[in-house]
Amino acid sequence: MTLRAYYSDSIEEFLVRPQDEILGTITRNSSFSVDPLQRDAWLEQIQILKTALAGYVRDGRIYFEYSVPRLGKRIDVVVVICHVLFVIEFKVGEAKFLASAIDQVWDYALDLKNFHETTHDIAVAPILIATQANAPFITITETQSADGVLRPILAIPNQMTGLFKDVLQFCTGQAIHAKEWEVGAYCPTPTIIEAAMALYAGHGVADLSRSDASAINLSKTSRAISDVIQSAKSLSRKSICFVTGVPGAGKTLVGLNVATEHIDKASDLHLVAPPAETPSCCSGAQ
């Protein structure tokens, strides 16, 4: 069984546990060989967080190398403090905040928010730390969608103590029970192959939806597109539909569902399934 995190502990225990003991646990549970560069990176992360979390002895829990199965990756550190989940990506030795790294930590935060059931209703703060960068101006903002995930926050190590405090003041919500949070089910949507097989076997998106993009919403979206197809046919005009959402929200399911519902070649509303690369777009029937 794959460990969800290579090391997890209460913040209280993490702060008093020897650095080498923590490193030993992470290394022992690692699924890959650990070279000196990785070892030193973990040691630096541990030291940075021991300093930054000193004021939160009884307030939460910490996880190193936390698994994100859908992305096939691990988050450097996840920290639960009071009512906020912090998703932290370290770039040890990096002097710049690269766009790819910002996207990386944001992807992690969105994945947990959308597919980890006990993260759905809590605030998530993605933080990117470049250890050798110049101190950036700290900006804490919500996304336009107000989905509970903050925009990625850029920081250097000596800003972390104040940053934790500022984010906790910015966000609202009930205290997270860390033990209950960590046993929450991780439920991404099915793969494109699994979805296609099920839909062509006669199932609908309501049977397939396993994420917080609920079956009701996916069914409504499919019906809305079908209505556009009907309208395009009756009015002899062309239409295009754009379906948006976070990665894995079910856009491909909607496209496949609409295609399979109109697969009868004898029907006036017959259409051709869109290619997998463009699942969010369906043309009206000619």
The pLDDT of residue 275 is above 60 = no
- Identity of residue 142: E
Query: How confident is residue 277, by pLDDT bands cut at 50, 70 and 90?
Result: very low
pLDDT digits (tens, 9 = 90+) for 212-271: 445 567 778 888 988 898 888 889 888 898 888 776 677 877 887 787 777 665 666 555
pLDDT mean over 11-38: 94
* DSSP string across 220-282: HHHHHHHHHHHHHHHHT---EEE---STTSSHHHHHHHHHHHT--TTSTT--PPPPTTSTTEE
| Residue-number span of the structural domain to which 213 is assigned | 192-283
Share of residues in the chain with pLDDT > 70 (%): 80
Q: DSSP secondary-structure letter at 201?
A: T
User: For the chain, what is the mean pLDDT?
Assistant: 84
221 shares its domain with 142: no
pLDDT digits (tens, 9 = 90+) for 143-163: 877 789 999 999 999 999 999
Determine the Cα–Cα distance for residues 82 and 59; give it in Å rounded to an integer: 6
158 shares its domain with 211: no
66 shares its domain with 170: yes
Worst-scoring range by mean pLDDT, 53-57, 68-72, 199-203?
Answer: 199-203
The pLDDT of residue 29 is above 90 = yes
Burial 57-77 (b: 16+ CB within 10 A, else e): eebbbbbbbbbbebbeebbbb
Query: Does a structural domain hold residue 187?
Result: no
148 shares its domain with 246: no
Higher local confidence (pLDDT), 26 or 254: 26
pLDDT digits (tens, 9 = 90+) for 98-149: 999 999 999 999 999 988 999 999 999 999 999 999 999 999 999 877 789 9
62 shares its domain with 116: yes
212 shares its domain with 94: no
Share of residues in the chain with pLDDT > 90 (%): 54
Query: Does a structural domain hold residue 114?
Result: yes
Residues 6 or more apart whose CB falls under 8 angstroms from that of 46 comprise 19, 22, 23
21 shares its domain with 157: yes
143 Cα distance to chain centroid: 14
Query: How confident is residue 194, by pLDDT bands cut at 50, 70 and 90?
Result: low
The pLDDT of residue 278 is above 70 = no
87 shares its domain with 225: no
200 shares its domain with 92: no
Determine the Cα–Cα distance for residues 123 and 170; give it in Å rounded to an integer: 10
Write down which residue in 157, 182, 207 finishes a domain: 182
Q: 82 by DSSP, 3-state: which?
A: coil
Query: How confident is residue 189, by pLDDT bands cut at 50, 70 and 90?
Result: low
Q: Domain tally for the chain?
A: 2
Write down which residue in 182, 202, 231 finishes a domain: 182
205 shares its domain with 175: no
> What is the model's pLDDT at position 263?
65
Angle in degrees, 0-180, between the axes of helices 160-170 and 36-52, rounded to the nearest 10: 60
pLDDT mean over 63-78: 91
pLDDT mean over 178-190: 83
Determine the Cα–Cα distance for residues 250 and 192; give it in Å rounded to an integer: 10
34 shares its domain with 151: yes
